[in-house]
Amino acid sequence: MVKAAQIWYAAFRMKLYNSLTQDQTLFTPVGDDVTLYVCGITPYDTTHLGHAFTYVTNDNLVRYLEYTGYTVTYVQNVTDIDDDILRKAAEIGEDWWALGNRWTRHFIDDLITLNVRPPDFFPRASDVVSEMHTLIQSLLAAGYAYESAGNVYFQVDKWPPFGKLSKLPATEMLPVANERGNFPDDPHKRDPLDFVLWQAQKGGEPAWESPWGKGRPGWHIECSTLASHYLGDSIDIHSGGADLIFPHHECEIAQMEPVTGREPFVRYWLHTAMVRYQGEKMSKSLGNYIGIDETPNETYGKVMSIPDKLIYPYFELISDVDLSELAEIKHKLNSADVNPRDLKKHLARTVVRMYHGEKSSKDAETEFERIFVQKKLPDQIEEFTLDAATCRIDDLLIITKTASSKSDARRLIQQGGVSIDGEKISDPFMEIGINREMILKVGKRKFAKISVKN
């Protein structure tokens, strides 16, 4: 029997922009279970709309994949041991572990505010220290890494494909890496671009025992290890902010492909745009940020509930979305007559355009509306009366407002979600006799009682 997911997929082919191939590629997971890894936060300070954009975008993706019938296994990590945490903890005189816990809790509350579907696994980097040792040992044994004074480094020039994700020329790699956590002057490195897999304990730092002495892991090895530990050596989708492409994700690939023999490590690399605000990338260091728990302004607070109020600012702020279509919505927003549904509708269309391209966006809007916008169904069963003795099932779905069109009705039936008096319907053109009282059910949620007119 053909799975509902496949039917749905055939009717509705999703394209994703893959940073590795730099084009929109038809999304075809290896199985019915889609594996997704999203780089999580380093919990040392507040999270803002810039961070949230990544998690909300991936939330849309997860919900959409699940809606189309796939099972999604979603892992999001917490980088709980990192230079930034240790620096901040020393600055404010708080224990690094307590600081990390405090901001992780804060982040979880923010995600609850945003109503995102929680990841299936939310591991800390420090959960898999011994697994990191195993991966580092494989890299050493295969000749891609070297040890020096209790540190272990990846030797970049040993692996020629390095750079295949970012496409950065060798001369541009070092300045970018230096801005993002690299220490080029580390005297133990053979080359300034080599990156750390394991670092020897420095005074007062937390440390774990290892084959190379006490120390702690490098940032990049944490994500490679967590992704492969929970999802395997080759995963469907890996996502994160676009500023992680280099060096973080480039290094993740380099740590996996030479030793697992599985290529590609990640089949679809999805990167979310940087949120811009006041002309610059939104960032804590520049101070130009809006916290997730802040209300963007009075108007949003009055007319929209969370997370509706957050949707507009995302699209206003991100740099590569055409804002002209939003002008009318913005106008409405500033007048008294505001309908939050318009905003969600626009979100639906924008997201669908991102995933599918322009052509499908109109069709898909209806579907997205069903997933994201549909109001809570009434507790009471709705009653409909028909004056015919028989009725075709696709017509019946339209009459009861369960489907908006015949194609919509067919899609619902093909997904296997429609039943009448407990019996599943598989043929959309089936003629059914109208009983005195008949219960129509779509999925677990929607009911209609249909009676015959006397």
Residues forming the site for Zn ion (CB under 5 A)? 39, 223
- What is the smallest separation between the CB atom of 85 and Zn ion, expressed in angstroms? 15
User: Please, which residue, 41 or 329, has the CB nearer to Zn ion?
Assistant: 41
- What is the smallest separation between the CB atom of 292 and Zn ion, expressed in angstroms? 20
Torsion of CA 158, 159, 160, 162, to 10 degrees: -130
Map 360-387 to HEC letters.
HHHHHHHHHHHHHHCCCCCCCCEEEEEC
Strand segments (E) across 60-214: 71-76, 145-148, 151-154, 195-200
- What is the smallest separation between the CB atom of 295 and Zn ion, expressed in angstroms? 30
- What is the smallest separation between the CB atom of 248 and Zn ion, expressed in angstroms? 6
Please, which residues bridge with residue 441 across strands? Answer: 419, 447
Q: Return the structure tokens found at 348.
A: 């639906």
User: Please, which residue, 39 or 396, has the CB nearer to Zn ion?
Assistant: 39
User: Please, which residue, 51 or 344, has the CB nearer to Zn ion?
Assistant: 51
d(CA 147, CA 136): 10
User: Please, which residue, 8 or 162, has the CB nearer to Zn ion?
Assistant: 162
User: Please, which residue, 39 or 132, has the CB nearer to Zn ion?
Assistant: 39
One DSSP character per residue, 234-252 reads SEEEEEEEGGGIIIIIHHH
User: Please, which residue, 244 or 338, has the CB nearer to Zn ion?
Assistant: 244
- What is the smallest separation between the CB atom of 77 and Zn ion, expressed in angstroms? 6
Q: What's the CA angle centered on 386, arms 382 and 390, to 5 degrees?
A: 120
Q: Is residue 346 classed as helix, strand or coil in its secondary structure?
A: helix
- What is the smallest separation between the CB atom of 426 and Zn ion, expressed in angstroms? 44
- What is the smallest separation between the CB atom of 256 and Zn ion, expressed in angstroms? 13
User: Please, which residue, 41 or 139, has the CB nearer to Zn ion?
Assistant: 41
Specify the DSSP element, H or E, that contains 13: none
d(CA 68, CA 82): 38
Q: Return the structure tokens found at 318.
A: 């991100």
d(CA 198, CA 127): 15
Specify the DSSP element, H or E, that contains 104: helix 96-113
- What is the smallest separation between the CB atom of 297 and Zn ion, expressed in angstroms? 33
- What is the smallest separation between the CB atom of 222 and Zn ion, expressed in angstroms? 7
Q: Is residue 276 classed as helix, strand or coil in its secondary structure?
A: strand
CB atoms within 10 A of CB 201: 15
User: Please, which residue, 224 or 400, has the CB nearer to Zn ion?
Assistant: 224
User: Please, which residue, 166 or 415, has the CB nearer to Zn ion?
Assistant: 166
Specify the DSSP element, H or E, that contains 331: helix 326-334
Q: What's the CA angle centered on 294, arms 291 and 296, to 5 degrees?
A: 105
User: Please, which residue, 89 or 266, has the CB nearer to Zn ion?
Assistant: 266
| Cα four-point dihedral sign 116, 45, 305, 321 | negative
d(CA 190, CA 176): 19
User: Please, which residue, 223 or 317, has the CB nearer to Zn ion?
Assistant: 223
- What is the smallest separation between the CB atom of 223 and Zn ion, expressed in angstroms? 3
Q: Return the structure tokens found at 229.
A: 């530990």
d(CA 55, CA 207): 31
d(CA 429, CA 418): 13
- What is the smallest separation between the CB atom of 226 and Zn ion, expressed in angstroms? 8
